Amino acid sequence: MASPTPVPGVLEIQPYVGGRSAAPGAARVFKLSSNESPLGASPKAVAAFGKAAEKLHAYPEGSSAVLREAVAELYGLNPDRIVCGNGSDELLHLIAQCYCRPGDEVLFSEHGFLVYPIAARAASAIPVTAPETNLTASVDALIARLTPKTRIVFVANPNNPTGTYLSVGEIRRLHAALSPETVLVLDAAYAEYVRRNDYESGIELVATSENVVMTRTLSKVYGLAALRVGWAFCPEGIASVLNRTRGPFNVSIPAQLAGAAALRDTAFTEAAVAHNSKWLAYLAGEIARLGLRVTAGVGNFVLVHFEPAPSKRSAPAADAFLMERGLIVRGVANYGLPDALRISVGTEEANRLLVAALEDFVAQTAS
C-alpha cells in the first residue's frame, strides 16, 4: 500500500541518538555521556519551577517575555532581538526552515554537531562539511567550500564533541567572506565555560551585522536540560522571521520561570563554572598521565583517544569496561571519531572513579 511521500531529504536523516543513561548490572551509575551539569539546577530555578504548578491550566505568554527580559538584563541586550525556543535545537531547525530552499547548501565542519545535517535535510537542503585541522574548525576550509548556494554556515563555538574553539578574529574572518544572503549561526552552547581572552560568544558580531545569529542553551551550565530552554540573539530582520514561524507557545511556563530564575542566580552559575574549570583540568591531566591522548577543549567535557579497533585498548573496549563500573560515557563514531570517547565533567566522586577505572583499564590492556 502506498504511503505519503515526505519532502526531499527527510528519509536521508539519521535520527539523533542522545547519550545513554543506564548501565545494566551496575550497582551505581554515573552518567557522563550528555554534558549535563554535575551541580544540577539552581535552587532558585527549582523553586520557580515548583511555583509554576499553580499555572498549569494557562497557556504560556507567547513571546517568552519573562525569559527574554532575564536574558536581556544579564547581557545588556535589546529583548526585541531575542527569540526563545524549546531548546536551542528548535532554533537551529527554524533557521534552516526559514532560510533554505530545496537544493541550497548548509555548511559546517566535519566533526560539527549532528543536529546541523538533520536541520539541513529536514529543510530539503544539502549538508556540506569542511575538514578540520587538529580537531578544530578550519576557517580556510570553510571558506573554500562556500558556493552561491551556501545559505547557512553553522559554527559550534566551542564545538561538540571536540571541545575546541575559534578565536574572535577567526570568526570575523569567516564572516567577512560570506555573502549578505548567507546566515552565519554561532552555536555557543558551551560559551559560559570558556575562559580565554581571544574568545567571544558572538554577541558583538550579531549586534553589528545583519546576517549573524548566536544561539545559546540553558541545558548545560544552568542545569535545565530537562526543560529544553534555548534562546537566540538576532538581527531585527531575522528575529522577525523566526517569530513568524515558531510555535505560538513554544516555551512552557515552567521553562520560562525556571530559566529566568537560573539566569539571575549568577552566584550559582559562577560556582558551576568554577567546578568545571577545576575538574576539567584534573581530568585532562590525570588521563594524560595514564598515557592516553586527551583533547581537553574549553567546554565541560574531554575527548579521550584510544587505539583503533580491534585493539584491546580500543574506544569500544574502554566504553564497555567503564560501563561495567557504572561509568556511562559517549562514543562518538557517528561524529567520524570511532577511536574516541567523549566524557563529561562530573561530580568529584565521579571524576575520581573515572580516572581510577581508566587506570585499571590501561593496566589490564598493557602489552
Residue 333's contacts (CB-CB under 8 Å, 6 or more residues apart) are 315
Whole-number percent of the chain with pLDDT over 70:
100
Q: Which helix (H) or strand (E) holds 316?
A: helix 315-324
Which residues share a beta bridge with 136?
133
The pLDDT of residue 266 is 98
- Residue-wise pLDDT for 338-363, tens only, equals 999 999 999 999 999 999 999 999 99
Q: How many CB atoms lie within 10 A of CB 34?
A: 17
The pLDDT of residue 66 is 97
The pLDDT of residue 4 is 87
Q: 27 pLDDT exceeds 80?
A: no
The pLDDT of residue 1 is 75
327-331: long-range contacts, CB 8 A cutoff, minimum separation 24: 327/23, 327/30, 327/32, 327/353, 327/354, 327/357, 328/19, 328/20, 328/21, 328/22, 328/23, 328/29, 328/30, 328/31, 328/32, 328/33, 329/32, 329/33, 330/19, 330/20, 330/32, 330/33, 330/34, 330/161
- Residue-wise pLDDT for 114-164, tens only, equals 999 999 999 999 999 999 999 999 999 999 999 999 999 999 999 999 999
The CATH topology of domain 44-264 is: Aspartate Aminotransferase; domain 2 (3.40.640)
pLDDT tier, 366 (very low <50, low <70, confident <90, very high otherwise):
confident
Q: What is the CA radius of gyration of the chain?
A: 21
Q: How many CB atoms lie within 10 A of CB 198?
A: 11
Q: 25 pLDDT exceeds 90?
A: no
22-26, 243-247, 262-266, 278-282, range with the lowest pLDDT: 22-26
Question: What is the average pLDDT score of the chain?
Answer: 95
The pLDDT of residue 312 is 95
Q: 18 pLDDT exceeds 90?
A: no
Q: 290 pLDDT exceeds 80?
A: yes
What is the mean pLDDT of the segment spanning 95-109?
97
Residue 283 burial (10 A CB sphere; 0-12, 13-18, 19+): buried
Residue 270's contacts (CB-CB under 8 Å, 6 or more residues apart) are none
For 202-267, the three-class secondary structure string (H helix, E strand, C coil) is: CHHHHHCCCCEEEEEECCCCCCCHHHCCEEEECCHHHHHHHHHHCCCCCCCHHHHHHHHHHHHCHH
CB 228 within 8 A of CB 86: yes
Query: CA distances (Å), 239 to each of 74, 256, 268, in order?
Result: 19, 19, 30
CATH class entry, domain 10-40+267-364 = alpha beta
The pLDDT of residue 39 is 97
Whole-number percent of the chain with pLDDT over 90:
91
Q: Where are the domains of the chain?
A: 10-40+267-364, 44-264
- Pick from 11, 18, 93: nearest CA to 334: 18
Q: How far apart are CA 23 and CA 204, in angstroms?
A: 43
Query: CA distances (Å), 60 to each of 51, 85, 164, in order?
Result: 14, 13, 37
C-alpha cell at 335: 561524529
Q: How far apart are CA 115 and CA 122, in angstroms?
A: 10
The pLDDT of residue 158 is 97
What is the mean pLDDT of the segment spanning 25-53?
94
The pLDDT of residue 108 is 98
CB 139 within 8 A of CB 173: yes
What is the mean pLDDT of the segment spanning 324-328?
95
pLDDT tier, 20 (very low <50, low <70, confident <90, very high otherwise):
confident
- Residue-wise pLDDT for 193-241, tens only, equals 999 999 999 999 999 999 999 999 999 999 999 999 999 999 999 999 9
For 107-118, the three-class secondary structure string (H helix, E strand, C coil) is: EEECCCCCHHHH
Q: How far apart are CA 3 and CA 119, in angstroms?
A: 23
3-7, 38-42, 294-298, range with the lowest pLDDT: 3-7
Secondary structure percentages of the chain, helix, strand, coil, to 5: 40, 20, 40
The pLDDT of residue 238 is 97
- Residue-wise pLDDT for 259-284, tens only, equals 999 999 999 999 999 999 999 999 99
Q: What is the spatial order of strands in the sheet that 183-187 belongs to?
A: 82-85, 230-233, 212-217, 183-187, 150-156, 105-109, 126-130
pLDDT tier, 70 (very low <50, low <70, confident <90, very high otherwise):
very high
